[in-house]
């Protein structure tokens, strides 16, 4: 992905930071990929929580997401309320109903951040952006035998013994280093599925990856995700590594 006038930003897509690891904010590169335009915007209520969206994931009012009439699913948009001057970056996961007068409908949290909650409908400035992730922090979970042999979101066959993972929006075949912040262990996994869709979780690991991180018995772990720059680096470093092993490099 090319970066035009990129700036390293810090932005939180969830509110799942734990007290054991304060001030760990996701980091990414942001570049503008389109011209800003004025659109009619509204927002989705909290009563719709759990409703299945066009992307296949359930609607979470606390996520920074949106429904849009035309933009591709998983496209990132910068949305600005011209009345307040406040902006938010949202991810498109759904379609605006055909009978609606709006071009875009924000999640409850996104609308609240830019001061749109009091307005049932209003004008907003929408600008497509490209996001290149560097780091993300949050809770990891794992899945195994129950899904072994089933199709993943990219139409592969899930193998619980492969070093793979599900992520909600990172592109398929992205390689990610996952570090368990409790014990320092890390693994490199390839994204080939979508999920997890439980609030506060950022990645769903295969059984093998979770086992290498020492999180099978507990079920979850607080982790740091680092997106690797290219596949060659990932393939050369795809074995589980402990903190002691990394220190000896």
CATH (domain of 62): 2.40.40.10
R_g (Cα) of the chain, nearest Å: 19
Instruction: Clarify whether residues 53 and 158 are in a common domain.
Output: no
User: Do 40 and 24 fall within a single domain?
Assistant: yes
SS3 content of the chain, % helix, strand, coil (to 5): 10, 40, 50
In a domain, 181, yes or no: yes
Question: Domain check: are 118 and 159 in the same one?
Answer: no
Quick one: pLDDT band at residue 20, thresholds 50, 70, 90? low
Predicted local confidence at residue 164, as pLDDT: 97
Answer whether residue 4 is part of any domain: no
Do 33 and 23 form a contact (C-beta atoms < 8 A)? no
Range of the domain at 161: 134-247
User: Could you tell me the two tokens for 247?
Assistant: 């220190």
Cβ neighbour number for residue 37 with a 10 Å cutoff: 11
144 lies in the same domain as 207? yes
Q: Quick one: which of 172, 124, 164 has its CA closest to 144? A: 164
Residue 10 resides in a domain: no
Last-in-domain residue among 109, 131, 153: 131
- Position 9 in a domain: no
- Pick the closest to residue 149 from 138, 139, 140, 160 (CA basis): 160
Contacts of 155 (CB under 8 A, 6+ apart): none
Please tell me the distance from the alpha carbon of residue 34 to that of residue 157, in angstroms, as a whole number.
Answer: 36
Helix (H) or strand (E) holding 80: strand 76-81
Length of the chain: 249
Which stretch of 4-8, 58-62, 93-97, 207-211 has the lowest confidence by average pLDDT?
Answer: 4-8
Residue 205 belongs to some domain of the structure: yes
- The answer to whether the peptide bond before residue 176 is cis (omega within 30 degrees of 0) is no
Confirm whether 224 is domain-assigned: yes
With a cut of 50, say whether residue 8 has pLDDT above it.
Answer: no
pLDDT reading at 245 higher than 60: no
Q: Tell me: do 24 and 66 sit in the same domain.
A: yes
Q: Both 125 and 215 in a single domain?
A: no
- The average pLDDT across 172-200 equals 91
Indicate whether 125 and 51 sit together in one domain.
Answer: yes
Could you tell me the pTM of the whole model? 0.70
Same-domain pairing of 92 and 140 = no
Asked, for residue 200, whether it belongs to a domain, the answer is yes
Structural domain count of the chain: 2
Range name among 129-138, 172-181, 182-191, 204-213 with the lowest pLDDT average: 129-138
Residue 233 lies in a domain: yes
Burial of 215 (0-12, 13-18, 19+ CB in 10 A): buried
């Amino acid at each position: 992905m090319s970066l035009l006038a990129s700036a390293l930003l810090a932005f939180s897509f969830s509110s799942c930071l734990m007290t054991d690891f304060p001030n760990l904010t996701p980091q990414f590169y942001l570049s503008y990929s389109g011209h800003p335009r004025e659109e009619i915007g509204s927002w989705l209520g909290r009563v719709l929580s759990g409703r299945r969206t066009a992307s296949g994931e359930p609607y979470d009012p606390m996520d920074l997401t949106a429904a849009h009439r035309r933009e591709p699913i998983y496209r990132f948009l910068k949305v600005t309320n011209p009345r307040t001057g406040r902006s938010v970056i949202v991810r498109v996961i759904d379609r605006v109903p055909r009978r609606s007068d709006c071009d875009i409908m924000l999640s409850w949290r996104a609308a609240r951040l830019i001061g749109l909650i009091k307005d049932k409908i209003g004008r907003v400035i929408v600008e497509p952006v490209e996001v290149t992730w560097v780091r993300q922090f949050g809770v990891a979970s794992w899945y195994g035998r129950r899904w072994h042999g089933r199709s993943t979101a990219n139409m592969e066959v899930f193998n619980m013994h492969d070093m793979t993972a599900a992520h909600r929006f990172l592109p398929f075949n992205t390689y990610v280093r996952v570090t368990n912040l409790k014990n320092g262990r890390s693994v490199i996994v390839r994204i080939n599925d979508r999920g997890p869709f439980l609030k506060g979780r950022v990645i769903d690991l295969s059984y093998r990856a979770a086992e290498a991180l020492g999180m099978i018995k507990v079920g979850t772990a607080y982790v740091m995700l680092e997106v690797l720059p290219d596949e060659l680096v990932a393939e050369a470093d795809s074995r589980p590594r402990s903190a002691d092993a990394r220190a000896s490099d």
